[in-house]
């Protein structure tokens, strides 16, 4: 027999968005449309950057990878993401990156949403890149080189089409099977695709160069001679101490744009440069308080590492997007006794219920 008064109340139930429901949301709205919406939420939050409580992410490193917590908060909401990065996972059929996150009320501390974020992280990373591209890429850019055809690649392509008008892609991956996978997915989406034999050849004629490789080491995906005047570099993969993608000489020729300097100095491409090397904070560009692209021959570099505020924006988007739909399920995650001081009494009453 079920005593309804002992069933969890609405207060005890946390709305949960599963992977299956995140995929339904994408299919219902269209991935490009979601990327555009995400970019809007992210831009809104970047423009009120000083309102946020910010901290570099908290990382636990091991031989195999890293697990990170990424919290941030404004006056109304608290958000955090759990995310791992384990490059060797792929060999055993696991994802390199998985993630989930929570948005909570600052007034009560109660979670308002628990969401898968493996797919959502890929989306918010791409949406951020596309948004930044809108401020920094050369006008009329149509061709993007995509170096690294892993899990992030197609999302980058779609975001740069949705937000910057890119239609032609030059793909390169060290593993031809990965390039084939990306080409197959992207052709189906109407992109004009060139498969390139080397990273060097992939950048020919590209106005935007996106690097999104996954090796946990100091690699040199781009050498100095590969980067011509006027391009925008969207450097995604260098996002961990000891993990970079660009030769330091490229950094010295570029204007470098970053999310949150205290974190990027530790994790980004600029970990190769002195602590005081000048960088430009993107939120200032988005508020019109710092210049973005100012000259045709300028090399702009987005040294992306991923910051908690974009995850916060993404969770805000999901909370709004699933409201009133069946794409969210109630999860019995919080204890909710009738008398909040009588947590102990719940145990005895639940025993009565089971009997």
CA 90, CA 191: separation in Å to the nearest integer?
A: 27
For Cα atoms 299, 300, 305, give the angle at the middle one, nearest 5 degrees: 140
CA 256, CA 274: separation in Å to the nearest integer?
A: 13
To a second copy, the closest distance from the beta carbon of 90 in angstroms equals 5
Of 283 and 312, nearer to a second copy (C-beta) is 312
Of 81 and 265, nearer to a second copy (C-beta) is 81
Of 86 and 247, nearer to a second copy (C-beta) is 86
> Exactly one of 37, 45, 173, 239 is catalytic; which is it?
239
To a second copy, the closest distance from the beta carbon of 120 in angstroms equals 9
Q: Which two tokens stand for residue 163?
A: 């937000």
CA 47, CA 308: separation in Å to the nearest integer?
A: 15
DSSP 325: S
Of 108 and 294, nearer to a second copy (C-beta) is 108
Nearest Cα neighbor of 259 from 320, 310, 295, 293 is 310
To a second copy, the closest distance from the beta carbon of 291 in angstroms equals 33
CA atoms within 13 A on the CB side of 275: 1
Of 66 and 270, nearer to a second copy (C-beta) is 66
To a second copy, the closest distance from the beta carbon of 81 in angstroms equals 11
Q: Which two tokens stand for residue 118?
A: 């493996």
Q: Tokens 């010295």 map to which residue?
A: 252
Does residue 151 contact residue 97 with C-beta atoms inside 8 Å? Answer: yes
Q: Which two tokens stand for residue 103?
A: 């948005």
To a second copy, the closest distance from the beta carbon of 68 in angstroms equals 9
Q: Which residues of 151-170 are buried (b: 16+ CB within 10 A; e: fewer)?
A: bbbbbbbbbbbbbbebebbb
- Concerning whether 255 is annotated as a catalytic residue, the answer is no
Q: Catalytic amino acids? A: 239
């Amino acid at each position: 027999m079920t005593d309804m008064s002992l069933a969890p109340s609405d207060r005890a139930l946390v709305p949960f968005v599963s992977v299956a429901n995140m995929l339904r949301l994408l299919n219902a709205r269209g991935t490009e449309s979601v990327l555009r919406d995400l970019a809007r939420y992210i831009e809104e939050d970047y423009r009120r950057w000083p309102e946020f409580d910010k901290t570099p992410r908290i990382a636990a490193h091991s031989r195999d990878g890293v697990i990170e917590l990424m919290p941030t908060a404004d006056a109304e909401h608290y958000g955090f993401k759990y995310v791992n990065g384990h490059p060797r996972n792929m060999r055993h059929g696991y994802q390199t990156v998985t993630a989930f996150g929570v948005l909570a009320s600052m007034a009560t501390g109660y979670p308002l949403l628990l969401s898968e974020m493996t797919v959502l992280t890929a989306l918010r990373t791409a949406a951020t890149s596309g948004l930044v591209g809108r401020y920094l890429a050369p006008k009329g850019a149509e061709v993007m080189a995509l170096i690294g055809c892993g899990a992030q690649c197609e999302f980058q392509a779609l975001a740069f089409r949705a937000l910057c008008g890119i239609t032609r892609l030059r793909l390169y991956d060290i593993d031809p099977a990965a390039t084939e996978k990306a080409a197959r997915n992207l052709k189906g989406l109407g992109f004009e695709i060139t498969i390139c034999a080397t990273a060097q050849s992939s950048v020919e004629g590209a106005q935007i160069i996106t690097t999104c490789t996954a090796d946990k080491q100091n690699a040199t995906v781009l050498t100095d001679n590969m980067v011509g005047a006027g391009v925008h570099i969207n450097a995604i993969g260098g996002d961990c101490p000891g993990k970079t993608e660009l030769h330091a000489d490229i950094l010295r020729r570029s204007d470098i744009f970053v999310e949150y300097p205290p974190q990027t100095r530790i994790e980004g491409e600029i970990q190769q440069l002195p602590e005081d090397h000048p960088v430009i904070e993107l939120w200032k560009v988005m508020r019109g308080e710092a210049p973005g692209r100012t000259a045709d021959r300028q090399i702009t570099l987005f040294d992306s590492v991923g910051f908690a505020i974009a995850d916060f924006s993404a969770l805000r988007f999901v909370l709004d997007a699933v409201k009133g739909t069946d794409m969210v399920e109630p999860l019995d995650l919080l204890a909710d006794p009738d008398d909040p001081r009588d947590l102990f009494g719940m145990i005895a009453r639940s025993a009565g219920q089971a009997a």
